[in-house]
Amino acid sequence: MNLYETDVTNITEIMAGPWKAIKVVDATPGETLEFSTDGEEHGVFVIEGSFVATIPDGSTFEFKKDMSMTLASGGAASVVAGPEGFKICQVTMRVD
């Protein structure tokens, strides 16, 4: 499977574990994405570009190429793409 070509990965059929989904996400400069993790967790790896994540308490964190962000169950972040946008690999895992 090529994550650059499809969001349909059937990850739960390929690998054992808590996987819900894995996909590559592209965002244009300034685009905002909202992440919330009610009953799940997110792992995000920056392939290209950058973003700034703001968590509910107002703290901000900048993520650049080759960095990763993890949101545990019950977490949330508002992510704004940097000046060149971004390409990320997003892994969503269930919490049992």
pLDDT digits (tens, 9 = 90+) for 31-64: 999 999 888 999 999 999 999 999 999 999 999 9
Mean residue pLDDT across the chain: 88
Domains parsed from the chain with CATH numbers: 11-94 (2.60.120.10)
Q: What is the pTM of this model?
A: 0.82
Q: What beta strand segments (E) does the chain contain?
A: 19-27, 32-36, 40-54, 60-64, 68-71, 76-94
The token pair at 10 is: 């059937």
